[in-house]
Amino acid sequence: MSIKPIQYRDGICRMIDQRLLPTEEVWLDYTDYQGIAEAIRTMVVRGAPAIGVAAAFGAYFGARDIYADDFEAFYSQFEEVCAVLAATRPTAVNLFWALDRMKAYVLASKDYPVSDIKTTLEFEAMAIADEDVRINMAMGRKGAELMPAKGTILTHCNAGALATGGYGTALGVIRAAVEAGKEISVYADETRPFNQGSRLTAWELQRDKIPVTLICDNMAGYLMSKGEIDGVIVGADRIAANGDVANKIGTYTVAILAKEHGIPFYVAAPVSTIDLNIADGSHIPIEERDAREVTHTGEKQMAPDDIAVRNPAFDVTPSRLVTAIITEHGVVQGDYQQGLKAAVEKVR
């Protein structure tokens, strides 16, 4: 069983503190929306679908704690709760998707007593969490067909169980391929500066006994040139209508390397990651994070005092570099504009 990083029971949302992995496995309990917002902002929980799941529980907690019997008063305070949760991180669209779904649910229930709406919102958040795992497994089955019978796949960042409700997107595809009997081994990019690859992907695959070898980000080109990488698979934080993919910083570099070496570059993402309101990747908001992530490794300073630093947390890979986008509703290839729209419409 892959890890379930967000576990909800009896009014408590328990999340594994991803900042402490792989050396410490600490679970933190959350019971209010402010705590969940802080957990997302500080990366206790991270990864696009996982952020969406956490935000859904945050929205429920916020709704539950509103003292108002009148729907209008309740809804205006609920919108404030959602605004606090939405302000935590800007790039992963799953955050906004989950909050929009919770808001739509509330609006559709406006003729019911507020107390009933609060109760059923709990089920809606739980449904978002459960559906995410099912979606990842469906995506895994579709993506597994694209994996070689035997080969080595490079991944960047962590798009695994830890980044989702469970099972994973990119790592879900790898997991499904292994479950189907394919002999897959993984190269995990360390993914500087936050090291999601070395800390999280390496930990999760090793735990699940899927062969994994850790490399520094700057080693991928060399290994591709030696013929040691048969394919690349990554997740996504937001996919624009034309198929441009925002994902962890460094993904674009890997995509260019893959193109140069004639290696397929796959993206695995649920339909909730597709943002048809964004025409192309240039409009995707890119989070800039604290300079300390670049200047320090843990507590150790690795750069001179007062050095100028840039720390964009994501980049955009143009769709022309993407071999296929794997969703729970099928594999989109070629005409992304049309294919992504069709995948989104299957959900509506």
- What is the C-alpha R_g of the chain? 20
Q: Does 48 bind ligand MRU (CB under 6 A)?
A: yes
Report how far apart, in Å, the C-alpha atoms of 136 and of each of 46, 101, 151, 206 are.
Answer: 16, 19, 22, 20
- Collapsed DSSP state (helix, strand, coil) of residue 210: coil
Between residues 45 and 114, which has the closer beta carbon with respect to ligand MRU? Answer: 45
Q: Does 163 bind ligand MRU (CB under 6 A)?
A: yes
Count other C-beta atoms under 10 Å from residue 280's C-beta: 15
Q: Give the contacts of 203 (CB within 8 A, at least 6 positions apart).
A: 21, 22
Interface pattern 183-202 for ligand MRU (x via CB under 6 A): -------------x------
Q: Is 237 a catalytic residue?
A: yes
Nearest to 267 by CA among 202, 333, 213: 333
By CB under 6 A, how many residues form the interface with ligand MRU? Answer: 18
Q: Does 88 bind ligand MRU (CB under 6 A)?
A: no
Among positions 2, 152, 169, 198, the unique one binding ligand MRU when judged by CB under 6 A: 169
Between residues 62 and 250, which has the closer beta carbon with respect to ligand MRU? Answer: 250
At residue 74's C-alpha, the angle toward residues 71 and 76, to 5°, is 110
Among positions 13, 99, 157, 229, the unique one binding ligand MRU when judged by CB under 6 A: 157
- CB of residue 244 to ligand MRU, shortest distance in Å: 15
The side-by-side arrangement of strands in the sheet containing 27-30 is: 6-9, 12-16, 27-30
- CB of residue 46 to ligand MRU, shortest distance in Å: 3
Between residues 62 and 235, which has the closer beta carbon with respect to ligand MRU? Answer: 235
- Phi then psi dihedrals of residue 235, to 5 deg: -95, -165
Sign of CA dihedral 176, 219, 315, 240: negative
Segment near ligand MRU (CB under 6 A); pick from 96-104, 180-188, 205-213, 233-241: 233-241
Judged by CB under 6 A, the chain residues 296 through 335 that form the site for ligand MRU are: 313
As given in the structure block, the two tokens for residue 342 are: 């069709």
Judged by CB under 6 A, the chain residues 207 through 226 that form the site for ligand MRU are: none
* Choice among 208, 237, 275, 315 that is catalytic: 237
At residue 193's C-alpha, the angle toward residues 217 and 321, to 5°, is 50
DSSP conformational letter for 260: H
Q: Which residues form the interface with ligand MRU (CB under 6 A)?
A: 46-49, 92, 157, 159, 163-164, 169, 196, 234-237, 247-248, 313
Residues known to be catalytic: 237
